Amino acid sequence: MKTKTHICLIGLLFGMLLLIAHPSWAQPKPETAGPRIINAFAVDEGYYGYVWKIYLEAEDPNGQMLRIACSVDQAGYGHYPADWVYLKPGFQKHFKGYVQWNTFSSNTATLSEGAQIVLRVSVLNKAGQESKEVFFPFTFLSGADVDPIRLHLSIKERIQG
């Protein structure tokens, strides 16, 4: 009787050992590259009512870019929720273009001279992977002229800054 019990216990333990997966048995998941912003630029100052254009170029090796996230942080006021720009199917592998913000709003008070904001832009794909964020500071100045030389800021300055 004891021998039968021992054999059953040993068999049960052996069966449990077979059911426990060893970490080295698992197949590693291949790393998939997500979307990345490869070029971006915008001016960093303008007057209230200025139409601010942020030029972007992005790519996703899997061709699954879904949307662009834009959110604003305003000094002294905090963070505003993200606004989403959805991409058409023809632009999900690579796109070049711009998003714009009309800085005038009849629903809010005028932004004061010297008010500063930071626009954060990233790209997300269908798998939920997000590119690195790119930051664009902007200062409201009355009578500010858009300097075409400043318009050509490279993505390296924005990301590594």
97 domain residue, yes or no: yes
- Report pLDDT for 110: 63
Would the pTM of this model clear 0.85, i.e. be above it? no
Catalogue the long-range contacts made by 83-91 (C-beta closer than 8 Å, 24 or more residues apart): 91/65
Region at 143 (left for phi over 0; alpha for psi -120 to 50; beta for the rest): left
- The residue range of the domain holding 112 is 36-160
Give the CATH number, domain containing residue 57. Answer: 2.60.40.2550
- Cα gap 93→126, rounded to integer Å: 12
- Cα gap 130→137, rounded to integer Å: 21
20 domain residue, yes or no: no
125 is written with which tokens?
Answer: 């794909």
29 domain residue, yes or no: no
40 domain residue, yes or no: yes
| Model confidence pLDDT, tens digit, residues 82-110 | 999 999 999 999 999 999 988 877 666 66
Residues in a beta bridge with 137: 118
Number of domains forming the structure of the chain: 1
Look at residue 30 and give its three-state secondary structure: coil
62 domain residue, yes or no: yes
24 domain residue, yes or no: no
27 domain residue, yes or no: no
| Model confidence pLDDT, tens digit, residues 41-84 | 999 998 888 899 999 999 999 899 999 999 999 888 888 889 99
- Cα gap 56→92, rounded to integer Å: 14
Residue 29: band (very low, low, confident or very high) from pLDDT cuts 50, 70, 90: low
Residue type, 38: I
Burial class for 53, CB neighbours closer than 10 Å (0-12, 13-18, 19+): middle
Residue type, 42: A
19 is written with which tokens?
Answer: 């059911």
30 domain residue, yes or no: no
- Cα gap 22→35, rounded to integer Å: 33
**CA–centroid distance for 36 within its chain:** 9
